Structure 1
């Protein structure tokens, strides 16, 4: 391989290439893919003996921007769910808005996952990780009303089924959500219910660690993204600047008081004759 080719593969040239891609408005994902390819080429050169070291080994890749979750006012969603007349669809929407389930988690529920006496829902989440969610009373009522139409169903049976009998699919959940979206005149997708659920809990003062457990997140760092979209939380923080603060004693005054207290403690009390 010619030395001209090897010489062109340098950090300076790759940095110029990055500037070129940025000027062209290429996406972060595209830039990442191209830089990774160049880095792999450098690794290949070392393995084949064309270069002693990879000149791009210390290259840093641009980080993808993580978009903030899109949310809808939770009260709007809750009102739309309460107005749903079909018992099955109301129950599906109920576990979306009152439990923040993922679409796949809704599809995978079985009848035995709902415990009416304990008011809980057993959920099998990502990575086959189990979690137990407490259900608010509206969600309980919706599930009970739906199950009342299937009185002899067994615990291992699918919780949500089609009119023909088999378990619902992801498309069914999406269609139910789209029908609600048309009714309220808003763009909705199933995951927006989850975002709105988490943000509403945060707005109402719930601990972020509890929200993490309800959502089934592995790390609280994943849940923390909702702190960026919680207007109520930010308002509570900035309101701290509006409250009057008691004036703090100056350092010299405080030191003098402490010295006086020490001297008073060291003087023995007068003896009684």
Structure 2
């Protein structure tokens, strides 16, 4: 291992340890200061025996680097879980892992797992091994030719307008109705709603700023109906908490992802309609497109990186195609 690479590892490990004690420290200044000191020293790493594995250390360096790059704690936690499972199945030197090893490992994961879960594992391993290759820990990337499984291109049907009304009537609490209307009106992902604060909302413009995938901010809008039920819910609360959606018992805290998902699922179960937060997002997108909204506008509202992702809603909805045909076809 060359000295520059070794220095980088030491810097990462020192910064990571300091962040555990003082998370608000300026990592850029700290990293630069440590590098200045290390320039006056020659470091030597411990050699691994043939029977040992360096994979846990590589995972540690990878996660620490990604943490310094600003990845969310949720993403880092998911990476760690998947990579730790991989490490438990491969007690070897990382540079000895081959494409065949990866394929055999992934084959064991197929049993009983949804294709979306399988994709998540592949995406994580691709990111990890690409980083190892870029950092020259390995000379060949075993994930380079590993392909994602074919996906079912059919989206679940969005909610019909009558189903939306039935679900509204099925809400028993002010919080249930407020969450339902907010998700439907904004098209937000459930993890974007967690941690939102009342002070984030511009009530006069019916809008708020959310942080989406890749920590990118975007403006979301909501309807007068959503505003009415949000404010009705907020006026019923006796707490002084700034979070938008909170637990009903002390100590009050913001609702976690699972709690919001359960809230929506429970509403649907009362009227035998299978519903979940992401279906409300699907419905939001479909309603906009059916009403004539431009694809690029819906893409912006959903926070999609690529228009291809948004295009799925337009391609698969035959009502949109039919309406556009009738609108533009010369009789």
Q: So what's the TM-score if we normalise by structure 2? A: 0.52
Match of 2:209 among 113, 117, 122: 122
Report the RMSD for the aligned CA atoms in angstroms: 3.4
- Inter-CA distance 67–112: structure 2 relative to 1 (3 Å threshold): same
DSSP-derived class of the 2:186 partner? coil
Structure of greater Rg? 1
Counterpart Cα distance in 2 of 1:159 and 1:60: 42
Contact 2:167 2:268 in 1 (8 A): no
Change (3 A) 1:152 1:59: closer
Does residue 1:71 correspond to 2:71, yes or no?
no
The question of whether the paired residues in 1 share the 8 Å contact of 2:159 and 2:279 is answered with: no
Aligned residues, how many? 198
Corresponding residue of 2:261:
174
Conserved? CA contact 2:181–2:229, under 8 Å = yes
Q: Which runs of 4+ in 1 moved over 6 A?
A: 27-30
Q: Deviations over 1:39-81 (max 9, x none)?
A: x9xxxxxxxxxxxxx9xxx979576225332133241353145
Distance in 2 of aligned mates of 1:60 and 1:130: 32
Q: Which residue of 2 aligns with 1:256?
A: none
Task: Report matched runs for 1:22-41 at 5 Å.
Answer: none
- Give the secondary structure class of the aligned counterpart of 1:64: coil
Q: Which runs of 5+ in 1 are unaligned?
A: 1-20, 22-26, 41-53, 245-273
**Corresponding residue SS for 1:132:** strand
Deviations 1:123-170 (A, max 9, x none): 12122211111211111111111111237736xx21110012111111
1:69-148, aligned counterparts within 5 Å?
69-83=155-169, 84-148=171-235
Q: 1:161 to 1:90 in 2, by over 3 A?
A: same
Rounded to whole Å, the distance in 2 between the matches of 1:109 and 1:62 is 34
Q: Any idea what SS the aligned residue of 1:73 has?
A: coil
Query: CA 1:65 to 1:152, structure 2 compared with 1: closer, same or farther past 3 Å?
Result: closer
The 5 A counterparts of 1:178-193 are: 178-193=265-280
